[in-house]
Structure 1
Amino acid sequence: MSYTVDEYRREVSAKKILVVGMGRSGIAAVKELHKLGATVTAQDINTVDKLDPKFITYLDREAIEYYFGSIPEHMDVFDMVVLSPGVNPNLDFLVDGRNAGVEIIGELEMAFRLSRGKYVAITGTNGKTTTTSLVGKIFEEAGRKSTVVGNIGIAAISKVQDSTDDEWMIAEASSFQLETISEFKPVVSAILNFTPDHLNRHGNMDAYGACKAAIASNQTEDEYMIVNYDDKACLALSRATKAKVVPFSRQESLGFGAYLEDGYIVIRDENGIVHQICNSEELKIIGDHNIENALAAAAISFFAGIDCEAISDAIEKFPGVEHRIEYCGVVDGVKFYNDSKGTNVEASIIALKALKENIILIAGGDGKAQGFTELSENLAGRVKSIVLLGRAAKDIEKAATAAGFTSIYFENDMNDCVKKALSLAAEGDKVLLSPACASWDMYDNYEQRGEHFKSCVNLLLR
């Protein structure tokens, strides 16, 4: 940046800023920018009655103008627009603003400009939340001042006022957030993997990949980009960066980077010295995908300057994250697992591979223009029956039937799905909620869906 944080904060205080999308990020942006003295206007596609009444009270009390269920008539009255991640930057009124010379950025970009300290940024189709949480625990173990933010559920902009020069912001970054950056520049970035997702938003894999690769677009030679060596499409996203590329691999030994050696996670540094981190068999998080997440987290932390002992201690103690193959209890000898974070086909395949066999799968939701052929090809030998709900239920049934899988049932809500799954299961089986879809057709977010699943399971435990 060609300006200091204090200079930019003073500049922002004199601007007229439209914040679009009143989810967590948008609400936080409105409040933080208002605190800085900017003239803020809020906009959302939903009408007032669909939004948080406490937030409406706040807007009225602070005399903040808002357009809910409508859009501003003239975009050229604003100096800039800040978008929530869920807002498509190509909406007509935003295009009008861009054509009028209005700067349009995302909440993560604004947070970066207003923050002191350094950023670690982690993206990928799957594993972001687990890896970001683990990196946060490693930094905490090492005694580094750090805050976990971003797509994980805590808006980065909500933490900027209290940020300090010695602080690390550990950010989970989605493709939606990376689509609207311009100056964002982490010290360490990471792309964990790259498979189809959000094609209803991005249109094709090239556009989706460009958003992911943007995470390292402003990095320089003295910074690091961690990337999955085993995922060649992911590895290809590192080609354009100026950062030092650090590969990680679960399958091969590497001349530089993080990999497995006799079952141990190790890191070979820039001088060729091998540092042993921990035994991968002692991880509390299950599945090959979590070994990859641990490899990535170890590499991110090592090249951010964390010592190996702190990395090892944190990885070995890490219990995993909520809504990702989360054990929920056992009913009549049947174990229940919440994988509501499985919002795409690849994530659900990962969960199926982790639980291996004798699975009753609950799936369905907003399919996001995905195909379900690959999911269906991974059912045989693992899944005994599928219980489907949501908008994509028929699409999943069609793909599963084409793959020769016929034990398929439909239900209208989560409670009925859980009851049906238990009725289909035998002692020793596992009921897995791993929707392979977004939650937006029935829930506000995957967390709400996962909590509902757990509450339905808890009713059976009583």
Structure 2
Amino acid sequence: MGLGVQSGGLGVATFMRDHGADLVVTDLRSEAQLANSVAALGSAGVRYVLGGHELNDFRHAEIVVRNPAVRDGSPYLRAARAAGAYIEMEFTLFLRWCRQARVIGVTGTRGKTTTATALHAMLVAGGEQALLAGNMRVSALAQLHEIEPGSTVVLELSSAQLEGLAGTGLRTRGAIVTNLMADHLDRYGDMRAYAEAKLSLVANQRADDWAVIPQGSGWPNWFAARAGGTVLRPDLEEAPPGWLAASLSGRHNHANLALAAAAARQAGVDDEAIERAVRSFGGVPARQELVGTIDGVRAYNDTTATTPEAALAALATIEGPWVLIAGGSDKRLDFAPLAKRLGATDGLRGVVLLPGSGTDRLRPLLQGCRIEAAADMAEAVDQALAMARRDDAVLLSPACASFGLFSNEFDRGDQFVARLRDLGLRLAPGSGRG
């Protein structure tokens, strides 16, 4: 239910089809919108119902694999449950069938991709066989057959994915909770419901499992008190081995690598290997990523900054002056601190706003800022470059979701980079975007 345009739905559909399932793929999006996913999956052994759902498909299903974007209260899921169907997600199926490897789950509002990627690098540096997958457009289930006995799988997990863990008894042997900040309130309504969506990652653990949760009052303590296994509480002010020689900067990256290092030690990696990994770790794409320069202007892709706090972190880390591309779909978050920061920033050349419900709330708060409105990403990039001067930074850090104008946040970032390349972008060394 929900093929989507990212890898998870395609990965689970391919896996189920290849293992003999009588497969129905249904999605509210049209065949044209899902063209790439449909082409990759093919038609053999698959019946497609696109542009809507048919209730009878759910009433007669034995297993419904729910895309995380589908809300748990969907009437189609209720019909399937009433008929006795099992409701699964790709993540829960993976945990049921991956018996040969240790699984470490990583969640949190911010930093989970960087933390998971850094942990994977540390494991590899320590000689471990390790796989990185999850909420980063990498299907774990699609790689199940490649996982060697005794290896480690690091999974980045969103709150929506973790909803499927509640009540199952399934667990990961290790876990990291990076933080909890206001996000996804359009889905959960309040912070308590948002936190509870993530809680099963640590609450389902047993005494011989472990969870890394940072020191601090408030939500870190809330998670720690409810964890089922051993809880490790690293001090995020302490630098991980190799930090002084690392290419990353910023307090948030310091925290991410400190959490990854604590988990790596618990997984058996020594400090020498951790230091090697930290010194060579260059971060991950689409997260404060310097993609290159154009006419002397630096261009940064921070499309995964879907909250005001994430945009503030980018402004604190990336050297200005800046032209900010922001706005998009609303998640019921507080824009006031971001607006205050922008209004008090001498180095801000201006803000280019993408259309969306979040933009409608943000724009009135941007008193004293030069503002331009763009209909699409190409126009936004053109307007940002027109404002920028040599040595400035054009920063895509939207502080909003991508729904409506883009397929997802990564499509938003890809369109940003594509327009820059059309205009003559010189790629940054080591960008991996050759």
1:390 is aligned, of 355, 372, 378, to: 355
- Alpha-carbon displacement from aligned partner over 1:155-179 (angstroms, at most 9, x marks no partner): 1111122323212111000001001
Deviation of 1:372 after TM superposition, in Å, equals 1.3
- Alpha-carbon displacement from aligned partner over 1:406-441 (angstroms, at most 9, x marks no partner): 322212122222222222223332211101112222
- Alpha-carbon displacement from aligned partner over 1:344-372 (angstroms, at most 9, x marks no partner): 21111111111254221110111223231
Q: Which aligned pairs between 1:247-326 and structure 2 lie closer than 5 A? A: 247-251=233-237, 260=238, 264-265=239-240, 277-278=241-242, 280-326=243-289
SS at match of 1:362: strand
Give RMSD over aligned pairs.
2.0
- Residue type at the aligned position of 2:378: N
Q: In terms of mean alpha carbon deviation, does 150-159 or 440-449 score higher?
A: 440-449
For residues 40 and 390 of structure 2, the distance between their equivalents in structure 1, rounded to whole angstroms, comes to 52
Q: Residues 231, 84 of structure 1: CA spacing in aligned structure 2 closer, same or farther, 3 A cutoff?
A: farther
Q: Which aligned pairs between 1:150-299 and structure 2 lie closer than 5 A? A: 150-181=134-165, 182-230=168-216, 232-251=218-237, 260=238, 264-265=239-240, 277-278=241-242, 280-299=243-262
Q: Residues 20, 358 of structure 1: CA spacing in aligned structure 2 closer, same or farther, 3 A cutoff?
A: closer
- Alpha-carbon displacement from aligned partner over 1:58-112 (angstroms, at most 9, x marks no partner): 55322x2332223233333222211112111211111122233322121101111
For residues 220 and 317 of structure 1, the distance between their equivalents in structure 2, rounded to whole angstroms, comes to 34
SS at match of 1:180: helix
- Alpha-carbon displacement from aligned partner over 1:181-234 (angstroms, at most 9, x marks no partner): 123311110110111111111222111100122211211122211112246323
For residues 330 and 237 of structure 1, the distance between their equivalents in structure 2, rounded to whole angstroms, comes to 42
Deviation of 1:328 after TM superposition, in Å, equals 2.1
Q: Residues 25, 331 of structure 1: CA spacing in aligned structure 2 closer, same or farther, 3 A cutoff?
A: closer
- Residue type at the aligned position of 1:368: K
For residues 360 and 445 of structure 1, the distance between their equivalents in structure 2, rounded to whole angstroms, comes to 23
Q: Residues 281, 306 of structure 1: CA spacing in aligned structure 2 closer, same or farther, 3 A cutoff?
A: same
For residues 358 and 243 of structure 1, the distance between their equivalents in structure 2, rounded to whole angstroms, comes to 47
SS at match of 1:129: helix
Equivalenced residue count is 417
1:65 is aligned, of 29, 35, 47, to: 47
- Residue type at the aligned position of 1:171: L
1:25 corresponds to: 8
- Residue type at the aligned position of 1:390: P
Q: Which aligned pairs between 1:356-375 and structure 2 lie closer than 5 A? A: 357-375=320-338
SS at match of 1:417: helix
Q: Which runs of 5+ in 2 are unaligned?
A: 426-434
Q: Residues 363, 223 of structure 1: CA spacing in aligned structure 2 closer, same or farther, 3 A cutoff?
A: same
Higher strand share: 1
For residues 237 and 188 of structure 1, the distance between their equivalents in structure 2, rounded to whole angstroms, comes to 14
For residues 145 and 217 of structure 2, the distance between their equivalents in structure 1, rounded to whole angstroms, comes to 38
Q: Residues 335, 175 of structure 1: CA spacing in aligned structure 2 closer, same or farther, 3 A cutoff?
A: same
Q: Which runs of 5+ in 1 are unaligned?
A: 1-18, 252-259, 266-276
1:418 is aligned, of 381, 388, 412, to: 381
For residues 217 and 299 of structure 2, the distance between their equivalents in structure 1, rounded to whole angstroms, comes to 31
- Alpha-carbon displacement from aligned partner over 1:113-155 (angstroms, at most 9, x marks no partner): 1113110110111111111111111122122111111001111
Q: In terms of mean alpha carbon deviation, does 74-83 or 341-350 score higher?
A: 74-83
2:430 corresponds to: none
For residues 186 and 362 of structure 2, the distance between their equivalents in structure 1, rounded to whole angstroms, comes to 17
Q: Residues 20, 457 of structure 1: CA spacing in aligned structure 2 closer, same or farther, 3 A cutoff?
A: closer
TM value normalised by structure 1: 0.85
2:117 corresponds to: 133
Deviation of 1:38 after TM superposition, in Å, equals 2.7
SS at match of 2:234: strand
For residues 58 and 97 of structure 1, the distance between their equivalents in structure 2, rounded to whole angstroms, comes to 24
Q: In terms of mean alpha carbon deviation, does 178-187 or 71-80 score higher?
A: 71-80
- Residue type at the aligned position of 1:65: R
1:325–1:351: 8 Å Cα contact kept in structure 2?
yes
1:339–1:450: 8 Å Cα contact kept in structure 2?
yes
Q: Residues 104, 317 of structure 1: CA spacing in aligned structure 2 closer, same or farther, 3 A cutoff?
A: same
Q: Percent identity?
A: 28
- Residue type at the aligned position of 1:114: W
1:230–1:250: 8 Å Cα contact kept in structure 2?
no
Deviation of 1:444 after TM superposition, in Å, equals 1.3
1:342–1:437: 8 Å Cα contact kept in structure 2?
yes
Q: In terms of mean alpha carbon deviation, does 434-443 or 382-391 score higher?
A: 382-391
Q: In terms of mean alpha carbon deviation, does 295-304 or 350-359 score higher?
A: 350-359
1:362–1:388: 8 Å Cα contact kept in structure 2?
yes
2:65–2:87: 8 Å Cα contact kept in structure 1?
yes
SS at match of 1:61: coil
1:454 is aligned, of 379, 400, 417, to: 417
Q: Residues 72, 200 of structure 1: CA spacing in aligned structure 2 closer, same or farther, 3 A cutoff?
A: same
SS at match of 2:366: helix
2:298 is aligned, of 316, 331, 335, to: 335
- Residue type at the aligned position of 2:353: L
Deviation of 1:42 after TM superposition, in Å, equals 1.5
- Alpha-carbon displacement from aligned partner over 1:365-401 (angstroms, at most 9, x marks no partner): 1122323112212222263421111203222112223
